Chain A
Amino acid sequence: DIQMTQSPSPLSASVGDSVTITCRASQNIRNYLNWYQQKPGKAPRLLIHTASILQSGVPSRFSGSGSGTDFTLTISSLQPEDFATYYCQQSYSVPAFTFGPGTKVEI
């Protein structure tokens, strides 16, 4: 089974900061990596798919990169509404859609 890890957690930041979250897969997943944002009491929201493609409607301050085993999600100029928990998820070993443990971005 493919395992996903994330760092750091939590991540302390301020409005206007640029932050980067790292996700690592236990084996090569090519670019089959998605990122989600979840706010308390809400369902997750797909931000980025296929490692670097922004989902429709997602602000351009979100970006993703990486391939193979190492991936990053970057939020440039953090906004108040960006404080949330972020999850990576692999879709290579379909249909075992493994999620990472999450990274909470907090003030």
Chain B
Amino acid sequence: QITLKESGPTLVKPTQTLTLTCTFSGFSLSTSGEGVGWIRQPPGEALEWFALIYWDDDKRYSPALRSRLTVTKDTSRNQVVLRMTSMESVDTATYYCAHLSPGTLGFDYWGQGALVTVSS
């Protein structure tokens, strides 16, 4: 059974850097084809994919946020870490990590989500 869970601060100040950790089980990010994505959702708004890391450490980012993002993985700890710099109020959202199914290219398992509020 695959599970994922996001952890990190619930409140960050404008201009600060957000660091979120996705801790997962039920698969290994050292296995060919596996990937973990990050998707966010501002309150009352739609889903927005913005980052993905693959088993081979290939990383892809949304062009709109690329300059602010870093995603890394720790295979031994079964964790993926997201860093987003220069946080603003518009970045207030629920942040989800999700497992990318190698066969279907759909996000088939999701974390519960972490609400991050950007406010001074």
Contacts and interface: CB of A to CB of B under 8 A. Distances in A.
Contact of B108 (A46, A94, A97, A99): A46
Interface stretch (B10-18, B21-29, B42-50): B42-50
Nearest to B50: A97
Contacts of A96: 49, 60, 62-63
A44 B107 contact: yes
Nearest to A1: B63
Contacts of B47: 36, 38, 44, 87, 89, 99, 102
A87 B48 CA distance: 11
A63 interface: no
A49 B113 contact: no
Nearest to A45: B110
Measured as residues with beta carbon below 8 angstroms from the partner, the interface class of chain B is 20 to 34
A55 B60 CA distance: 25
Interface in A54-91: 55, 87, 89, 91
A53 B49 contact: no
Interface hub of A36, A43, A53, A89 (most chain B Cβ within 10 A): A43
A19 to B, nearest CB: 19
Contact of A87 (B46, B98, B110, B111): B46
B46 A49 contact: no
Contacts of B80: none
A94 B62 contact: no
Contacts of A97: 37, 39, 49, 52, 107
A87 B43 CA distance: 16
B112 A43 contact: yes
Interface of A: 1, 32, 34, 36, 38, 43-46, 49-50, 53, 55, 87, 89, 91, 94-102
Interface of B: 37, 39, 46-49, 52, 60, 62-63, 96, 98, 101, 104-108, 110-113
CB-CB nearest 3 A-B residue pairs:
A91-B105, A95-B60, A49-B104
